[in-house]
Structure 1
Amino acid sequence: MRHVIALDVGGTGMKAALVGADGELLHQARRATGRERGPDSVVESVLDFAADLRAHGERHFGAPAAAAGVAVPGIVDSDRGIAAYSANLGWRDVPLRDLLGERLHGVPVALGHDVRTGGLAEGRIGAGRGSDRFLFVPLGTGIAGAIGIEGRVEAGAHGFAGEIGHIVVRRDGVPCPCGQRGCLERYASAAAVGEAWAAASGDPDADAAGCAKAVGSGDPRAQAVWQEAVDALADGLVTALTLLDPRTLIIGGGLAEAGETLFTPLRAAVGRRLTFQKPPSVVPAVLGDTAGCRGAGLLAWDLLSTTPTAPSEVTA
């Protein structure tokens, strides 16, 4: 059975699959990155995992994988196949595409950024399926974005397209590690909501999930924290909508797990801010933590296509 290898490398763990031509996940596996042993160990873990996946495909499907796709965090130079930098993994300028190609006996390898690769999957086969233009925004520790246009993800001239988390939504607001003040992710990320709720509740262990639960129970302190985050998120999204005019706005990440506790007030807040803009569909992501792996599979299949649609990117 013809298949490709897909790898989604995170800060502490890796998700992987063998993916069929129809997108079916024929085999799935997970492993730790081993980052506590240093960046060289992480690279070796990725290479070993890929080799084991190749061997599994040979044993069970009668042939090696036709290609491989890998999604990694940090700064990625997809044109040269280099994982340029990751603070979480500690690596710099790793020629990951060449290393994987060598370990996998010369099969073609695609390298992509984790958020944009996940956005590719959500847009093409997930919540945005059938939409010619979408914006994927995962709300996690930070906030990033993926701009989808006719089945591909736009990286921009310098690889920073979609960095919606660093739109300034509160002038002279909270300082951001990027050097600006008032960035969206300092107000509407899961980490920011958790910090605000911990301060409001007096519980240093409080997190965003606890805030959402308290909102549901009618706690006015939680409602105030939540509404501040929703308003900031709506401000950032309307800026993006005005520039990009997507048909579908896909919200993912940990904060989206709050369901309608998030989506009902968010749709209302976005609607209140629109004037001439056409309202998009605001929908939750549907692929969960498989999005990056599925997207890596799409990148691999795109390499084998006569009309590839995989993004060419240098991303952060």
Structure 2
Amino acid sequence: MTAPTRSGGPISTGCVLAVDVGGTTMKGSLFDEDGRIRHTVVVPSRADADRDPVDAVRALCRRLRDDALALDAPPVGIAVVTPGIVDEAAGIVRYASNIRFRDVPLRALVRDDLGLPVAIGHDARAAGVAEAVAGAARGLDNFLLLPLGTGIAATVVVHGEPVPGATSSAGEVGHMPVYPGGEPCPCGQRGCLEVYASAGGLARRYARLGGTPELDSRAIAAATATDPLARSVWDTATHALGTALATLTLTLDPARIVLGGGLAEAGPQLFDPVRDALRSALAWRAAPEVLPSAFGAVAAQVGAAVLARRAAGLAVPEGWAAPVSEPVAG
């Protein structure tokens, strides 16, 4: 990315920084007072053997702060969200295998580096915060958000608050067994939802059953009309997801279920069979609405920006950072 440039006076007061640490890339953005992204930096998150992955995150935070100052937009707070087991209250990432974090006091490290108020959060729970403030769950106190990406984690919102759980690991629904005794999962269990219905799992399963290894989930979705294996893998994925949503519905009684991540971009091809499977698994009660995320791939970043504003003591009005145009339900 090219260096930022200045044009005129400050972008605004009340700017915040938001960093989303993923399994393959880290994305950092500068949000202005109105919740609009003014600058973004994307770097690889897979650190090589000679570089500490924690140093890579800290370096991105410093770079983003410096870019904001160059744009005459001094930030008032920052939030970093990661996958894994995240203790938000303590500001510690307890464990995140994809980014090689274990017991990392990330809030203290970033605060020492930047001298700003810092929030640390879980990426899926942050995405849920974004949807609650200005997205597909706006105005709801009880809902679920499932980003369908490399893996599957859920944001469980009850009485308006994301639920972290007793060990800060609530929402690991990707490891819910949907086919007991089924195919092995890297976690050590068998039949996990993530094996069948995550974007990464779907592509791996297609290749393992004899399909072209290079095809990702989008390509597999596009091939379902002509490729019987793609059709079979896709049907298994949507049925597994609908079954899991039925279990979550009976357990938590959400007013709405929001699906995000790359797989949700398939639109009606995903949503129609998932809704059908959910309805068919619920004999005595109505199924909740199942809608696409309003923010898509940037939901976790928007949620991180909300957390950063709160850490800085700034208000977050309802609708802050809302998408310019609302998505149409699949």
Q: Does residue 187 in structure 1 map to residue 196 in structure 2?
A: yes
CA distance in 2, matches of 1:34, 1:197: 25
- What residue is the counterpart of 2:219 in the other structure? 210
Residue 39 to residue 146, structure 1, CA distance change in 2 (3 Å): farther
Normalising by structure 2, we get a TM-score of 0.83
Task: Please give the residue correspondences for 1:93-108 in structure 2 after superposition, counting only pairs within 5 Å.
Answer: 93-105=103-115, 107-108=116-117
Which residue in the other structure is 1:70 paired with?
Answer: 80
* 2:246 match: 238
Q: Distance in 2 between matches of 1:87 and 1:39?
A: 16
The structure where helix makes up a greater share of residues is 1
Q: Of the two structures, which has the highest relative contact order with CA contacts closer than 8 Å and spacing of 6 or more?
A: 1
How far apart in 1 are the matches of 2:21 and 2:220?
Answer: 29
Counterpart of 1:92 in structure 2 is: 102
1:60 aligns with 2:71: yes
The one-letter code matched in structure 2 to 1:172 is G
Residue aligning to 2:257: 249
Q: In structure 1, how many angstroms separate the alpha carbons of the residues matched to 2:136 and 2:176? A: 24
AA aligned to 1:287 is: F
Letter paired with 2:307: L
Count of aligned pairs: 305
Match for residue 279 of structure 1? 287
8 Å CA contact retained: 1:127, 1:286: yes
**How many Å apart are 1:85 and its aligned residue?**
2.7
Percent identical residues: 42
Report the residue type matching 2:282 in the other structure.
L
- 1:224 aligns to what? 232
SS at match of 2:42: strand
Report the AA paired with residue 94 of structure 2.
Answer: A
1:297 and 2:305 correspond: yes
Q: 2:56 aligns with which of 45, 70, 93?
A: 45
State how far apart, in whole Å, the 1-side matches of 2:232 and 2:62 are. Answer: 50
**CA drift at 1:150:** 4.7
2:177–2:193 Cα contact (<8 Å) kept: yes
Determine if contact 2:20/2:81 at 8 Å carries over to the other structure: yes
Does residue 179 of structure 2 align to residue 166 of structure 1? no
Q: Which residue of 1 aligns with 2:185?
A: 176
Number of the residue aligned with 1:117:
126
Deviation, structure 1 residue 142: 1.9
Partner of 2:16: 4
Change (3 A) 1:93 1:160: closer
* Residue type of the alignment partner of 1:12: T
Q: Which moved more, 1:143-152 or 1:64-73?
A: 143-152
- Partners of 2:139 and 2:40 in 1: CA distance: 26
8 A contact 1:68–1:297 mirrored in 2: yes
Secondary structure of 2:189's counterpart equals coil
Summarize deviations over 1:232-255 as a string: whole Å, max 9, x none.
111111000111111111112222
1:257-297 Cα deviation digits (max 9, x unpaired): 22111111111111111223332111112312211211111
- Cα offset for 1:37? 4.5
Change (3 A) 1:191 1:54: closer
8 Å CA contact 2:129–2:162 kept in 1: the answer is yes
CA distance in 1, matches of 2:314, 2:16: 16
Structure 2's unaligned 5+ residue stretches are 1-12, 317-330
Q: Is the Cα contact below 8 Å between 1:133 and 1:150 reproduced in 2?
A: yes
